[in-house]
Amino acid sequence: MSDQNSLKVAFSRPSISEEEEKAVLDVLRSGWLTTGKYTLQFENDFSAFMNSKAYMNENRKNSGLSTDQVKSLAVNSNTSGMILAMEAFGVKKGKAVITTPYTFVSTAACAHHLGAKVYFADVEKDSYSIDPEKVEELLKKDRESGKNEICAIVPVHIAGNLCNMKKIMALAKEYNVKVIEDAAHAFPSESQLGYGGCIGDAGVFSFYVTKTMTTAEGGMVTTRDDQAYKRMTVMRMHGMDRTTWDRYTSPRASWEYDIVAPGYKFNLPDLLSAIGVCQLKRAESFFEKRKKIVERYNQAFKELDFIQLPPDGEGNAWHLYLMRIKPDLLKISRDEFAKELQKRGIGISVHFIPLFHFTYWQKEDKNFTKENFPNAEKQYQRTISLPLWPDMTEEMTEAVIKEVTDIGRIYHA
């Protein structure tokens, strides 16, 4: 792997200010490093952000969706949050979820950790989003078989571009299943129905270091369901009926608690939450900076016949810039194009390797092959993720454009 600091343009770098540095020092000096008041503040601030758009409630009401306030629970990763959300909404042995093969492995693995099956639906023809028509085919097949295994749909908002949530929510209502959004890329994807990650029954965000805001490692679960929220709160910390902060700050003895379920250890410590509190304040400015870089990329690349611009829908958070090459107009493959960019000092990645390329998932289902998911495979074979982070300079952006253009010119068919 390339050292990002040695590149002409790193693929991603977090934007850290003196405010984050001060917040971390304050926690270090406080004597309380684990989950406590900073995590509570982070959760409350995140909920306030999600609930801040008054018009969303009216639009949700008109769509027949709950207008209850969003509640947030900080966790140590998106993966942990997905397990909590799935468990709270009944994903378990004997049940199944529907998700996309075009995602990071944790989306599907979380269901397997809980003993559930995973059914995959291909992405739409010209996007990275799960295809509602394919989802409906699976739901209909499940109902007609009499199994009624499927209990949840798990859409993934790739690159921050929202899936067709109106259709997905309508299917969920018709087939009486839950919607758990993998919103790792989706902050702050704002749609008429709410922010991506708080449209369905639960949404799970990621604050990994490359994401649109960061806590270094960490995530957030959002839900409007009181019962699910209470369940996740208990399961986040060993199935304990009291939080650590409560045990050590209330008059009641710290050792007086009950274990009501076999829970997990998924809490986010104050040391990381303090960073999150600061990053959340800057999230909208991060978003505006990313959009300007996207606009410049689009302006330059729309003139190049060997590139197709990324999909762009309502409320796109622009976490990633997914440049799509047109292989028939180039003498080199996507992998060769990507390696050329790396040779020239441009940090890149590929999002994502569809799960049917991996040994474990191939063993799980002999029909889980690229031939049965042609849209996902097509997108994978031509996609390169370019640098896109708030502190990129104009010079860096122009350097990326120059190298993409030069490689395309040299290897044009």
- Enzyme catalytic residues: 211
Q: Is the CB of residue 13 less than 8 Å from the CB of residue 387?
A: no
- Our CA angle for 86, 90, 96, nearest 5°, is 80
Tokens of 258: 């009950």
User: What's the CA gap between 23 and 29, in Å, rounded?
Assistant: 10
Q: Is the CB of residue 16 less than 8 Å from the CB of residue 407?
A: no
* Residue 343, Cβ density class (10 Å: 0-12 exposed, 13-18 middle, ≥19 buried): exposed
* Residue 105, Cβ density class (10 Å: 0-12 exposed, 13-18 middle, ≥19 buried): middle
Residue 352 neighbours by CB under 8 Å, 6+ apart: 102, 103, 104, 158, 380
User: What's the CA gap between 302 and 313, in Å, rounded?
Assistant: 17
User: What's the CA gap between 292 and 288, in Å, rounded?
Assistant: 6
Distances (CA, A) of 287 to 125, 197, 211, 278: 27, 17, 11, 15
Q: Is the CB of residue 286 less than 8 Å from the CB of residue 213?
A: yes
